[in-house]
Amino acid sequence: MTTTTSADHPLNLDAIFKQKKALRSKVRRDLKSMDPTLRSKEDDAVQNLVLEAPWFKSCQKLCAYISCSALREVDTSKLLAQILNYSSKDDYLQMGKTLYVPRVEDKNSHMRMLKISSMDDLIANSMNILEPAPMDAEGKEREDVMLADHPVDLLLLPGLAFDKSGRRLGRGGGYYDAFLTRYQGLVKERKWKQPFLVAVSYSVQIMDEGVVPVTPNDVFVDALVSPSGVIPISAAAKARCQ
């Protein structure tokens, strides 16, 4: 016998989707009106906090997004440069790090995370968003994180709105929730350690608790990095951030 929870009820889901749509519109307006100087300052603050975090320094394999200024996402260019550009001064950060970045395959929430070794591996898609070409320079298929022999330690996630209980509101395509659900299932099946899910956020994107609506398919994050600091949420995050 299957039971239907109140959140699963079609009418309740419809109300939640309307709430999500309204919140997305509000946050988009707030991001659009954000002072460019403040935006740049917050971009630097968030990236520096990630770069200095023990969980970032110790991670060997990670998934991270390529920021898009048109979408007003928190900039990740400095972060990615630190991972990809080897220099003797920073080799404590880069040694052994493997980076996977998103490639959207279709409009049905299908997104893959493919391995890159340079920003030159990226091409602009039809939406002018940088993503990895499916083949590398030698004509070989890029490694898909779902087919890799080892798990990633860390996923750095974008979004539109967040709260301090771990709720994340995406842009409505469902790409990250679908990918995270698939990847977490794979990790469980292979008896690997679940990756650390960290969202990065401007200050205007952090909502009061309970404001971000969720459905049963939404994946919660372990920690949130805002310009004012790292906010540990899950028990795993609190243990790592002590």
Whether 86 has a binding-site annotation, put simply, is no
Whether 172 has a binding-site annotation, put simply, is yes
| CB-count exposure of residue 12 (10 Å: 0-12, 13-18, 19+) | middle
d(CA 148, CA 177): 20
d(CA 93, CA 177): 28
Whether 20 has a binding-site annotation, put simply, is yes
Percent helix / strand / coil, the chain, rounded to 5: 40, 20, 40
Whether 66 has a binding-site annotation, put simply, is yes
Whether 73 has a binding-site annotation, put simply, is yes
Main-chain phi, psi angles of 154, to 5 degrees: -145, 140
Whether 170 has a binding-site annotation, put simply, is yes
Whether 22 has a binding-site annotation, put simply, is yes
Q: Which residues pair with 224 in a beta bridge?
A: 199, 231
d(CA 20, CA 172): 8
Whether 176 has a binding-site annotation, put simply, is yes
CA distances from 99 to 71, 84, 116, 159 (A): 22, 8, 6, 20
Whether 112 has a binding-site annotation, put simply, is no
Whether 175 has a binding-site annotation, put simply, is yes
Buried residues in 165-195 as b, exposed as e (16+ CB within 10 A):
ebbbbbeeebbbbbbbeebeeeeeeeeeeeb
Q: CB atoms < 10 A from the CB of 35, how many?
A: 9
Beta pairing, strands 223-226 & 229-232: antiparallel
Whether 169 has a binding-site annotation, put simply, is yes
Please give the annotated binding residues for substrate, written as ranges.
66, 73
Please give the annotated binding residues for ATP, written as ranges.
20-24, 168-176
Please give the annotated binding residues, written as ranges.
20-24, 66, 73, 168-176
